[in-house]
Amino acid sequence: MKRRFFNAESGLWKPLGVLGDLLMLSLLWGVCCLPVLTIGAATTALYDTVVHVLRRQDDVLFARFFGTLRRELATGALSTVLWIAVISAEYLLYRFLMTSLPEDSRSVVLIAYLVLVPFFTFCVLGWVFPILSRFTFRAMALNVTAVRLAFGNILRSAVLGIIAEANFFLALAVGPALMVTPALAALLASYVIEPVFEKYEHPEGEREAEKP
């Protein structure tokens, strides 16, 4: 039964099959992110495929990925624009602080800013596109719900922030890591997120239009 790109059942081939799936999903995600506006939909598709194919093995990798990508393209694009605006504003504030703060306090403030602000952003972003993969939302309601879940699950959000930041900085330090880290980060995040989603899902596992 060919449910995954590399279908291996046991022995050495099983971890190699998982690695192959991670590589393929990371490649698909990277290519689909190139238009920029598709980053949100691609990330939604990545998370959804990791959960339903790598973990549950209940669908075909390519069919699941591209089906989710097409379905969530519009909402994902609007959310991408929103978060690009947020991150751009954070960067502009950083530049302002660099030029306006006195030199004796600049380094401490800037270090605190660079540690806390991106981390908070990653904590919330860690929920946005996984929520979209499972529930039906308009863009604004999606992001409001992500903020609510981030604050309502502080410890889980902190773990998501650590996973996202580690993925980001590892990719900056070791470019080839991008061949596997996006899908690996999604896989690790799924173990943090799925227990929360289970409380809100329909008993038959259908997508719901209700807010968590």
Q: Give the pLDDT confidence of 153-183 residue by residue, as tens digits.
A: 999 999 999 999 888 888 777 777 778 899 9
Q: Which tens digits make up the pLDDT trace of 100-154?
A: 878 777 778 887 887 788 889 999 999 999 999 999 999 999 999 999 999 999 9
Q: What is the DSSP string of 137-193?
A: --HHHHHHHHHHHHHHTHHHHHHHHHHHHHHHHHHHH-GGGGGTHHHHHHHHHHHHH
Within a domain: residue 104?
yes
| pTM above threshold 0.75 | yes
Within a domain: residue 5?
no
Q: Provide the terminal-to-terminal Cα distance of the chain, rounded to the nearest Å.
A: 35
Task: Tell me the C-alpha to C-alpha distance, in Å, between residue 136 and each of 76, 93, 131, 142.
Answer: 12, 33, 8, 8
Within a domain: residue 204?
no
Within a domain: residue 158?
yes
Round the CA-based radius of gyration of the chain to a whole number and report it. 18
> Which residues form the domain of 112?
13-197
- The residue with tokens 């990508």 is 69
Within a domain: residue 59?
yes
Structural domains in the chain (count):
1
